[in-house]
């Protein structure tokens, strides 16, 4: 069984109350006219009840005429809401956007309510930040999954080509290389190269032996006279030992020389125009080469997919980082006045721009929504929303009419 709608029952009670007041006024008028003998009391009761009926009926007509035709009669300028609902909707939308959804009003609301500080304090809670980070990550993962990978690859490649056309990549690569060397990023690579070279020499010494001996003999006729298999074997053994030393010693001369070489290369990339031109030319050729482009597309696609998978995992480090960033920004917004003012200024600007640019959309939304309602349904909804208060007009009209009638009758008796 569906429970009764409180708005419907409340409207019915107020209609019954207002009608009861009107009925009481009519009953008093009839009773005094028929049964009460002529006297000053009868005059006051008749005047008061008569004026109460007039006031109550007039206000009943006015309230009823808003939503329907009184007694179903085709009286002009009645049933205003069903007939004028579209126009009323437009006026309502214009009223809302003109007096409530204004940049000044919303910006003032942002400042007076301390919205930025309150939201910042809410976000600073680690548990809330974690939940929000999960929602953000899921939304981003879904957006990336719905995106066309080929379009993303085209867009990234187009950005690379445009960026390469407007500036040199050499200083960027130089600074990146310098930071990498300062941080020792090359050391694991040197370790790996030394290990693999040592293992390769040890495993393929017999196969490489003739090639190395021929290489030595071809350098000079004297080398050809003194070169023996034993000498070549010793060269292999010394090379393997030296590679082991490179692996074990962080300050090995080869490592130091390699670091110096990389630092000079980084410096040249940042300050040598010739080196920069060669690097930019190489980058341009790579961007225009079909095979290189295919490799870049594959790398971009793999990177996008990796980001999507990380975002889709609630326990991933990327999601945890997002949560940490949210909590950190919330704490700064709540505790750092400078950052708070920056965020508040940005928010006020965004809200103001949005209202100015899209405020008319609110008017259009209200108009479209109300236009979609049938006239009778629109009238009923509005009546349920405000009709209970409108019934007080009827009730007050009956009471005020009675008081006015009594006052007028008293004044009439007082006049000579």
227-236 per-position pLDDT tens digit: 677 777 888 8
Q: What are phi and psi of 7, to 5 degrees?
A: -65, -35
Alpha-carbon distance 83 to 257, whole Å?
Answer: 90
Model confidence at 1, in pLDDT bands (50, 70, 90)? very low
* Residues 7 and 383 sit within 8 Å (Cβ to Cβ): no
**Is pLDDT at 129 greater than 80 in this prediction?**
yes
- Average pLDDT value over all residues in the chain: 84
**What is the percent of the chain with per-residue pLDDT over 70, rounded to a whole number?**
96
What pLDDT does 6 receive? 67
Q: pLDDT for 175-207, tens place per residue?
A: 888 888 888 887 888 888 888 888 888 888 888
Q: Which residues of 319-344 are buried (b: 16+ CB within 10 A; e: fewer)?
A: beebbeebbebbbbbbeeeebbeebb
Alpha-carbon distance 400 to 396, whole Å?
Answer: 6
- 119-123: Cβ within 8 A, 24+ apart: 119/330, 119/333, 120/329, 120/330, 120/331, 120/332, 120/333, 120/334, 120/335, 120/340, 120/343, 121/330, 121/334, 122/330, 123/326, 123/327, 123/329, 123/330, 123/331, 123/333
Model confidence at 329, in pLDDT bands (50, 70, 90)? very high
What pLDDT does 2 receive? 39
The answer to whether the Cα torsion of 249, 255, 260, 265 is positive or negative is negative
CA 111 from centre of chain: 20
CA 341 from centre of chain: 20
For residue 270, what are the contacts with CB-CB under 8 A and spacing of at least 6?
170, 171, 174, 175, 178
CA 104 from centre of chain: 22
What pLDDT does 187 receive? 83
**Is pLDDT at 50 greater than 80 in this prediction?**
yes
Give the range with max mean pLDDT: 38-52, 120-134, 346-360.
120-134
What pLDDT does 226 receive? 64
Taking residues 8-16, report their average pLDDT: 84
What's the N-to-C CA distance of the chain in angstroms?
67
What pLDDT does 207 receive? 85
What pLDDT does 109 receive? 87
């Amino acid at each position: 069984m569906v429970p009764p709608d409180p708005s419907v029952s409340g409207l019915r009670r107020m209609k019954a109350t207002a009608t009861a007041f009107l009925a009481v006024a009519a009953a008093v008028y009839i009773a005094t006219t028929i049964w009460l003998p002529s006297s000053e009391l009868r005059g006051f009761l008749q005047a008061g009840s008569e004026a109460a009926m007039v006031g109550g009926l007039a206000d009943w007509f006015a309230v009823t005429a808003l939503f329907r035709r009184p007694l179903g009669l085709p009286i002009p300028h009645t049933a205003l809401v069903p007939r004028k609902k579209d126009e009323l909707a437009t006026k309502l939308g214009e009223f809302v956007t003109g007096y409530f959804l204004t940049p000044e009003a919303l910006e003032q609301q942002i400042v007076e309510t301390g919205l930025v500080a309150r939201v910042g304090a809410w976000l600073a809670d680690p548990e809330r930040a974690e939940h929000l980070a999960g929602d953000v990550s899921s939304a981003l993962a879904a957006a990336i999954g719905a995106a066309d990978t080929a379009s993303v690859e085209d867009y990234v490649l187009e950005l690379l080509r445009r960026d390469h056309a407007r500036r040199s990549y050499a200083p960027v690569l130089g600074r990146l290389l310098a930071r990498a060397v300062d941080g020792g990023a090359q050391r694991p690579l040197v370790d790996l190269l030394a290990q693999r070279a040592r293992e390769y020499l040890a495993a393929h010494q017999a196969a490489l032996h003739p090639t190395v001996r021929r290489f030595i003999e071809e350098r000079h006729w004297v080398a050809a006279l003194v070169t023996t298999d034993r000498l070549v074997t010793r060269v292999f053994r010394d090379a393997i030992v030296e590679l082991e030393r490179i692996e074990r010693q962080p300050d090995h001369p080869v490592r130091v020389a390699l670091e110096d070489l990389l630092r000079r290369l980084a410096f040249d990339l940042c300050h040598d125009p010739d080196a920069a031109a060669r690097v930019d030319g190489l980058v341009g050729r790579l961007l225009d080469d079909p095979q290189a482009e295919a490799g870049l597309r594959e790398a971009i696609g793999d990177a996008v997919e990796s980001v999507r998978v990380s975002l889709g995992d609630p326990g991933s480090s990327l999601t945890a980082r997002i949560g940490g960033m949210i909590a950190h920004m919330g704490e700064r917004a709540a505790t750092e006045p400078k950052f708070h003012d920056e965020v508040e200024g940005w928010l006020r600007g965004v809200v103001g721009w949005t209202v100015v640019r899209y405020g008319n959309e609110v008017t259009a939304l209200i108009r479209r929504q109300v236009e979609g309602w049938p006239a009778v349904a629109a009238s009923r909804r509005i009546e349920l929303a405000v009709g209970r208060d409108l019934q007080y007009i009827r009730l007050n009209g009956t009471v005020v009419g009675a008081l006015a009638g009594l006052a007028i009758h008293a004044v009439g008796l007082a006049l000579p």
